[in-house]
């Protein structure tokens, strides 16, 4: 199937080439052939995707892909994430989107079909080759997702039994078990795929010598691409915020940078393209930017997937041996693009007129330049591992490493660039809608300027922003918001909402800027450890310990809150709240547990309940203010052997004006306790004594008629002692049992893993009226937690939504424009 | 001079500033010997050291010392030259820490005895290289 897709891609490219070259008589024939060939390609690509999903869905663990990315316990929507967890699946997704885009282009465009589709088909051929998995001699082309487990691994079991099929897969990385991971990758890959469209139009334009006409059909797609890429980035950031525990939404990790950079360039390209449409300048810049955005996406793929990042990224992929292929893919298109643009360079119309300071072209150009510099500043250090690889490739030694504090390093540039951008958008928008000179500009800007200074002053005073850098950010942000709102109001008043895309997107930008400033600049770690522990080293005392240790049930002060950790919980199918883990005992079946006690109206003792992902523990942490319970948070963690231990996800309390973000950094492992030596206590009913540090009451004992799990026979005696143990405000009843049968003694101890206690009733001394208890201690349950307050993060999220809305309106408008021209037969 | 030239020069100037700071702020890969020399030479810049945890023949990690409040710990790292060094990390022990194949510490020497890591990167046995298939269900 893969081979069909590969061959049909090449055939399509060839056919479209002939269609393009053919004379009028043969054109129709070649076009039909080309379309059929593309259809075959499309169908086979879809079938590849379908087969891979089928393998995962039907748990065919004889296939390596299903074995290593899925498991039986996985719900269906997460199987979708398994699909693209592996690189091969991601490539299939990319291929699939290209097919969809190609099909749309064939339908929508008339005369651009041939040149555009040649580029498409060539790209597809390269992409499909990534999953080809063909071995010719020593040369391996692509990595197929359809290899069998026995071919993928050298596990000894296959020598004993070649037909061995594992019972279960190793599962999906729990970090990806998140709803955002179901939709984020397709969005991002649609973004990746869509950068091809403007590029293909550009190539088509260069080949057919229509050097400027390609802009019109390409523009809506460029905006589409920027919107989808932007959406993918935001979803990724949001996913990181809600599932990863690095404490934020953006980490300047190479993987993130690799998407951010093409997005910046694409946004710059949009602006120069629009300028060109208005005034016939900036064509060359647009050409360069469109090529760059496409090549940068390939470069991003190369960075992330070739293993070259090595240990500089937390989540880079391992090398599947595709780096050579990716490099060829990237260089092929880079060379082609450079060749065609160089050939056409002197024919490309330019305007010699010096752009006036009072023209929009000038400001747009500065804006695009700023975007370009932003991209440059990010891609340069991100490429340090590549630089090392090149130097080493030539036999040199390079020990350059990425900046130690990435966040600080990138922020100090990007923040100021973003401020410049915000100011430019505010000024630029006024030029956009009218030709103005210095005086009218001043008149137009003075009102928004005064308004924004007033608003900023209010913000600064109310939220206590006293850092001069942040004050400037607030000013720039509010300025762009007010200036663009003024434009927006004018447009709405004239009822031309269709044109509002630009100002909306820019308002979004201003909000994003302010949101980032507050949520990152003023993020406040409130979980400062106050355990009062003194350390043996004086330097260690000076360090801020940014985590707190919470023993179960023990109130701990954390800034304005008193927090109490209350124990672990599980998620049960059909129950909207979390259920304490201590009343659930896991069975041998996957995701099934036995109820050890009644729980509200949901289930009764002895019933079997179904768990949602049994490995997940939710740690219940209650937050008190003034002795009253305000809310509780349940950060999650999963102990996953296959994935390398503990993986945890944060939980946040979301307020209108801030988020309280918490996650578990370490927890007690009580699966295999290391019990301390025996402690023996003698007590009479009614006695009070101390077990470990706990005040314990021995309330008495009773003779049992029946014992869970034992069949009592005639003459057996079973006695249950009732111990009441106080742990802060919690009272626990522990009831060890003692059975005598034919002078043999049987003891049923009780284990409380929350308190870390094992108690058994050792002996009964009737003459003294005393009971003998044996106690072993382990460790009370605890979590180590971090809590951060992130103010006004909602401004960021709302800003991104507004920005994306702006993009959508712009797409609609530009596509409409294109369609009208096309239907008039003016699609030159 | 035309305005275009001024802008062009401005762009080049900013680009040069970017390149210079990228090089200036770039960290470097060192081993403990060179890192200690740097510290003695008065350099406080954070550097990368690649190494692995000290383990006994049975594979148990040696020298891991978690503080009583569990919010920080020290451990022994053996760099690629085979030099052992005690490293302090002001965070709880990462979950898969003891399983890691190699550890990159980013930080600097505090004094001659202790290296303080600001950040730790771990390479864990990748799923792709896993050759043992669980024999469950046999």
What are A726-768's pLDDT values in tens digits?
A: 988 889 889 898 888 877 888 888 888 888 889 998 888 888 8
Q: Which residues pair with B116 in a beta bridge?
A: B88, B108
pLDDT of residue A69 exceeding 60: yes
Residues B13 and B65 in one domain: no
pLDDT in tens, A12-31: 887 887 777 777 777 788 88
A404 → closest Cβ in B27, B99, B114: B27
Measured between beta carbons, the chain A residues lying within 8 angstroms of B26 are: 381, 384, 400-403
Cβ-defined contact of A547 to B118 (cutoff 8 Å): no
Residues A116 and A160 in one domain: yes
Measured between beta carbons, the chain B residues lying within 8 angstroms of A161 are: 138
Residues B23 and B42 in one domain: no
Measured between beta carbons, the chain A residues lying within 8 angstroms of B46 are: 404-405
Establish if A709 belongs to a structural domain.
Answer: yes
Establish if A191 belongs to a structural domain.
Answer: no
Residues B14 and B66 in one domain: no
Mean pLDDT for A554-558 is 89
pLDDT in tens, A274-300: 888 877 777 888 999 999 999 999 998
Measured between beta carbons, the chain A residues lying within 8 angstroms of B132 are: 155
Residues B63 and B125 in one domain: yes
Establish if B50 belongs to a structural domain.
Answer: yes
Establish if B78 belongs to a structural domain.
Answer: yes
B26 → closest Cβ in A161, A369, A381: A381
Count of domains observed in chain A: 3
pLDDT band per the 50, 70, 90 thresholds, residue A323: confident
Measured between beta carbons, the chain A residues lying within 8 angstroms of B30 are: 399
Establish if A105 belongs to a structural domain.
Answer: yes
In chain B, the residue whose alpha carbon lies closest to the alpha carbon of A527 is B71
Cβ-defined contact of A644 to B125 (cutoff 8 Å): yes
Domain's final residue, options A602, A634, A664: A664
A665 → closest Cβ in B2, B4, B92: B92
Of the candidate ranges A313-327, A458-472, A697-711, the one whose mean pLDDT is the lowest? A313-327
A103: how many CB neighbours lie within 10 A of its CB?
Answer: 14
pLDDT in tens, A617-652: 899 999 999 889 999 999 988 766 555 556 778 888
- B30 close contact with A: CB closer than 8 A: yes
Calculate ∠ Cα A710-A713-A717, nearest 5°: 85
pLDDT band per the 50, 70, 90 thresholds, residue A313: low
The predicted pLDDT at position B133 comes to 38
| CATH code of residue B62 | 2.40.50.140
Mean pLDDT (chain B) is 79
Measured between beta carbons, the chain A residues lying within 8 angstroms of B20 are: none
Measured between beta carbons, the chain B residues lying within 8 angstroms of A64 are: none
Mean pLDDT for B92-120 is 83
pLDDT in tens, B19-56: 888 888 888 888 888 888 888 888 778 888 888 888 88
Cβ-defined contact of B46 to A549 (cutoff 8 Å): no
- B7 close contact with A: CB closer than 8 A: yes
Tokens at A544, concatenated = 């801020």
Residues A163 and A24 in one domain: yes
Cβ-defined contact of B18 to A377 (cutoff 8 Å): yes
Mean pLDDT for A72-92 is 83
Domain's final residue, options A632, A664, A696: A664
B135 → closest Cβ in A149, A154, A157: A157
A401 → closest Cβ in B48, B132, B136: B48
Establish if B35 belongs to a structural domain.
Answer: yes
In chain A, the residue whose alpha carbon lies closest to the alpha carbon of B69 is A549
Residues B23 and B35 in one domain: no
Helix (H, G, I), strand (E, B) or coil at A665: strand
**Percentage of residues of chain B with pLDDT beyond 70:** 87
In chain B, the residue whose alpha carbon lies closest to the alpha carbon of A382 is B22
Residues A656 and A721 in one domain: no
- B127 close contact with A: CB closer than 8 A: yes
Measured between beta carbons, the chain A residues lying within 8 angstroms of B130 are: 153, 170
B13: how many CB neighbours lie within 10 A of its CB?
Answer: 10
**Percentage of residues of chain A with pLDDT beyond 90:** 21
Spatial distance between the Cα atoms of A477 and A751, rounded to a whole number of angstroms? 58
Residues B7 and B48 in one domain: no
pLDDT of residue B137 exceeding 50: no
Establish if A723 belongs to a structural domain.
Answer: yes
Q: How far is B51 from chain A (nearest CA, A)?
A: 12
Residues B42 and B83 in one domain: yes
Cβ-defined contact of B95 to A647 (cutoff 8 Å): yes
One DSSP character per residue, A331-399 reads: HHHHHHHHHHHHHHGGGS----SPPPTTSHHHHHHHHHHHHHHHHHHHHHHHTHHHHHHHHHHTT----
Measured distance between the N- and C-terminal CA atoms of chain A, rounded to whole angstroms: 38
The predicted pLDDT at position A312 comes to 54
Establish if A127 belongs to a structural domain.
Answer: yes
In chain B, the residue whose alpha carbon lies closest to the alpha carbon of A644 is B96
B60: how many CB neighbours lie within 10 A of its CB?
Answer: 11
Best mutation target, B9, B51, B121, B134, to test chain A (most A CBs within 10 A): B134
Residues A75 and A112 in one domain: yes
Q: How far is A710 from chain B (nearest CA, A)?
A: 31
pLDDT in tens, A510-553: 999 999 999 888 888 888 876 666 666 667 766 777 888 899 99
Reported for A4-8, long-range contacts at CB under 8 A and 24+ positions apart, including other chains, are A4/A40, A4/A41, A4/A44, A5/A41, A5/A44, A5/A45, A5/A48, A5/A95, A5/A124, A5/A128, A6/A125, A6/A128, A6/A129, A6/A132, A8/A37, A8/A38, A8/A40, A8/A41, A8/A44
Establish if A585 belongs to a structural domain.
Answer: yes
pLDDT in tens, A142-201: 778 888 877 776 666 777 777 777 777 777 777 777 788 788 889 999 999 999 999 999
Cβ-defined contact of B137 to A153 (cutoff 8 Å): no
Which residues of B, range 75-94, sit inside 8 Å of A by Cβ?
88, 90-93
The predicted pLDDT at position A295 comes to 93
Cβ-defined contact of B69 to A533 (cutoff 8 Å): yes
Residues A652 and A719 in one domain: no
- B18 close contact with A: CB closer than 8 A: yes
pLDDT in tens, A429-485: 777 655 666 677 777 778 888 888 898 988 888 888 888 888 999 999 999 999 889
Measured between beta carbons, the chain A residues lying within 8 angstroms of B68 are: 531, 533
Residues B71 and B55 in one domain: yes
pLDDT band per the 50, 70, 90 thresholds, residue B63: confident
Give buried/exposed letters for A614-645 (b at 16+ CB in 10 A, else e).
Answer: bbbbbbbbbbbeeeeeeebbbbbbbbbebbbb
Q: How far is B82 from chain A (nearest CA, A)?
A: 18
Cβ-based contacts under 8 A for chains A and B: 151
Establish if A620 belongs to a structural domain.
Answer: yes
Top-confidence residue, A72 or A759? A759
Calculate ∠ Cα A777-A780-A784, nearest 5°: 145
pLDDT in tens, A410-424: 888 898 999 999 988
Spatial distance between the Cα atoms of B34 and B42, rounded to a whole number of angstroms? 12
Name every residue whose Cβ is closer than 8 Å to that of residue A672 and which is 6 or more positions away in sequence.
Answer: none
A529 → closest Cβ in B25, B50, B71: B71
Domain's final residue, options A738, A760, A780: A780
pLDDT of residue A341 exceeding 50: yes
Q: How far is A645 from chain B (nearest CA, A)?
A: 5
Residues B55 and B2 in one domain: no
The predicted pLDDT at position A536 comes to 62
Mean pLDDT (chain A) is 84
pLDDT of residue A239 exceeding 70: yes
In chain A, the residue whose alpha carbon lies closest to the alpha carbon of B7 is A366
Cβ-defined contact of B92 to A647 (cutoff 8 Å): no
Residues A44 and A124 in one domain: yes
Cβ-defined contact of B25 to A543 (cutoff 8 Å): no
The predicted pLDDT at position A332 comes to 92
- B3 close contact with A: CB closer than 8 A: yes
Cβ-defined contact of A666 to B15 (cutoff 8 Å): no
Residues B24 and B36 in one domain: no
Top-confidence residue, A776 or B3? A776
Residues B44 and B110 in one domain: yes
Calculate ∠ Cα B38-B44-B48, nearest 5°: 70
Cβ-defined contact of B95 to A646 (cutoff 8 Å): yes
Residues A659 and A689 in one domain: no
Structural domain boundaries enclosing A615: 538-664
**Percentage of residues of chain A with pLDDT beyond 70:** 92
Q: How far is A404 from chain B (nearest CA, A)?
A: 6
CB B50 within 8 A of CB B102: yes
Count of domains observed in chain B: 2
Structural domain boundaries enclosing B46: 31-129
Cβ-defined contact of B18 to A153 (cutoff 8 Å): no
Residues B15 and B36 in one domain: no
In chain B, the residue whose alpha carbon lies closest to the alpha carbon of A320 is B128
Measured between beta carbons, the chain B residues lying within 8 angstroms of A403 are: 22, 25-27
- Whole-number Cα distances in Å, A753 to A68, A120, A640, B71, B130: 33, 61, 20, 22, 33
The predicted pLDDT at position A491 comes to 82
Establish if A288 belongs to a structural domain.
Answer: no
Residues A560 and A585 in one domain: yes
């Amino acid at each position: 199937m893969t081979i069909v897709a590969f061959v049909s891609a090449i055939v399509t490219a060839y056919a479209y080439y002939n269609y393009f070259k053919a004379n009028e008589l043969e054109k129709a024939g070649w076009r039909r052939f080309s379309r059929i060939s593309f259809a075959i390609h499309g169908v086979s690509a879809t079938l590849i995707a379908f087969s891979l999903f089928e393998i995962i869905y039907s748990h065919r663990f004889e296939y390596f892909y299903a074995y290593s990315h899925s498991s039986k316990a996985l719900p269906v929507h997460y199987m979708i994430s398994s699909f693209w967890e592996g690189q091969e699946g991601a490539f299939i997704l990319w291929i699939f989107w290209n097919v969809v885009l190609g099909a749309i282009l064939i339908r929508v465009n008339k005369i651009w079909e041939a040149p555009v589709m040649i580029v498409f088909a060539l790209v597809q051929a390269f992409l499909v080759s990534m999953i080809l998995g063909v071995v010719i001699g020593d040369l391996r082309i692509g990595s197929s997702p359809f290899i069998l487990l026995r071919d993928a691994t050298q596990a000894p079991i296959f020598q004993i039994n070649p037909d061995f099929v594992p019972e279960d897969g190793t599962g999906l990385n729990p970090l990806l078990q998140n709803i955002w991971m179901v939709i984020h990758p397709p969005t991002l890959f649609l973004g990746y795929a869509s950068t091809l469209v403007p590029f293909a139009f550009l190539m088509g334009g260069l080949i057919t010598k229509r050097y400027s006409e390609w802009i019109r059909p390409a523009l809506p797609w460029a905006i589409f691409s920027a919107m989808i890429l932007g959406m993918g980035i935001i979803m990724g950031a949001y996913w990181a915020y809600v599932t990863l525990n690095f404490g934020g939404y953006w980490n300047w990790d190479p993987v993130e940078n690799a998407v951010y950079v093409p997005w910046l360039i694409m946004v710059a390209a949009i602006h120069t393209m629009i300028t060109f449409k208005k005034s016939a300048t900036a064509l060359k810049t647009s050409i360069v930017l469109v090529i760059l955005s496409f090549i940068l996406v390939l470069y991003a793929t190369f960075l992330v997937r070739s293993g070259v990042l090595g240990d500089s990224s937390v989540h880079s992929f391992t090398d599947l041996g595709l780096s050579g292929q990716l490099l060829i893919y990237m260089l092929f298109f880079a060379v082609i693009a450079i060749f065609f643009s160089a050939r056409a360079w002197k024919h490309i119309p330019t305007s010699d007129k010096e752009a006036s300071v009072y023209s929009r072209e000038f400001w747009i150009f500065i804006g695009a330049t700023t975007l370009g510099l932003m991209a440059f500043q990010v891609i340069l250090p991100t490429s340090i591992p590549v630089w090392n690889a090149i130097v080493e490739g030539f036999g040199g030694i390079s020990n350059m490493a990425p900046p130690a504090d990435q966040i600080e390093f990138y922020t100090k540039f990007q923040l100021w660039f973003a401020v410049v951008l915000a100011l430019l958008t505010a000024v630029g928008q006024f030029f956009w809608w009218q030709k103005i000179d210095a005086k009218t500009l001043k008149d137009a800007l003075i009102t928004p300027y005064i308004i924004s200074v007033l608003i900023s002053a209010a913000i600064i005073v109310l939220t206590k922003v006293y850092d001069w850098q942040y004050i400037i950010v607030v000013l720039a942000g509010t300025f762009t918001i007010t200036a663009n709102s003024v434009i927006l109001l004018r447009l709405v008043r004239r009822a031309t909402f269709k044109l509002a895309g630009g100002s909306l997107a820019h308002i979004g930008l201003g909000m994003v800027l302010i949101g980032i400033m507050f949520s990152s600049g003023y993020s406040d770690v409130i979980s400062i450890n106050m355990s009062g522990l003194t350390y043996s080293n004086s330097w260690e005392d000076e360090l801020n310990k940014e985590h707190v240790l919470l023993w179960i049930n023990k109130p701990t002060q954390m800034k304005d809150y008193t927090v109490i950790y209350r124990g672990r919980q599980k998620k049960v199918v059909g129950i909207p709240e979390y259920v304490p883990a201590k009343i659930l005992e896991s069975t041998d079946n996957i995701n099934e547990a036995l109820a050890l006690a009644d729980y509200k109206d949901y289930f009764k003792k002895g019933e079997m309940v179904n768990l949602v992902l049994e490995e997940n523990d939710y740690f219940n942490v209650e937050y008190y203010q003034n002795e009253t319970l305000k809310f509780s948070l349940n950060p999650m963690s999963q102990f996953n052997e296959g994935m390398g231990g503990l993986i945890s996800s944060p939980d946040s309390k979301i307020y209108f004006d801030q988020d309280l973000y918490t996650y578990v950094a370490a927890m007690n492992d009580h699966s295999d306790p290391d019990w301390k030596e025996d402690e023996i206590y003698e007590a009479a009913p009614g006695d009070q004594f101390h077990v470990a540090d706990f005040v314990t009451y021995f309330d008495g004992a009773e003779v049992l008629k029946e014992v869970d799990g034992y069949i009592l026979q005639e003459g057996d005696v079973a006695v249950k002692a009732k111990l009441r143990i106080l742990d802060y405000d919690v009272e626990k009843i522990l009831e060890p049992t003692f059975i005598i049968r034919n002078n043999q003694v049987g003891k049923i101890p009780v284990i409380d893993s929350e308190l870390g206690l094992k108690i058994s009733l050792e002996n009964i001394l009737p003459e003294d009226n005393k009971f003998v208890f044996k106690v072993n201690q382990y460790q009370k349950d605890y979590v180590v937690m971090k809590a951060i307050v992130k103010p006004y993060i909602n401004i960021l999220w709302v800003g991104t939504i507004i920005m994306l809305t702006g993009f959508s309106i712009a797409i609609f408008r530009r596509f409409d424009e294109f369609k009208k021209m096309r239907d008039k037969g003016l699609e030159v | 001079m035309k305005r275009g030239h001024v802008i062009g020069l401005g762009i080049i100037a900013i680009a040069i500033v970017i390149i210079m700071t990228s090089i200036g702020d770039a960290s470097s890969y060192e081993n403990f010997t060179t890192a200690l020399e740097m510290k003695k030479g008065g350099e406080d810049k954070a550097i990368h050291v690649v190494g692995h945890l000290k383990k006994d023949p049975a594979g148990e990690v040696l020298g891991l010392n978690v503080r009583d409040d569990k919010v920080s710990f020290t451990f022994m790292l053996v760099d690629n030259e085979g030099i052992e060094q005690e490293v302090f990390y002001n965070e709880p022990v990462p979950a898969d820490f003891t399983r890691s194949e190699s550890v990159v510490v980013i930080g600097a020497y505090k004094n001659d005895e202790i290296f303080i890591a600001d950040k730790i990167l771990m390479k864990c046995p990748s799923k792709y290289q896993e050759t043992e298939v669980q024999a469950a269900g046999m």
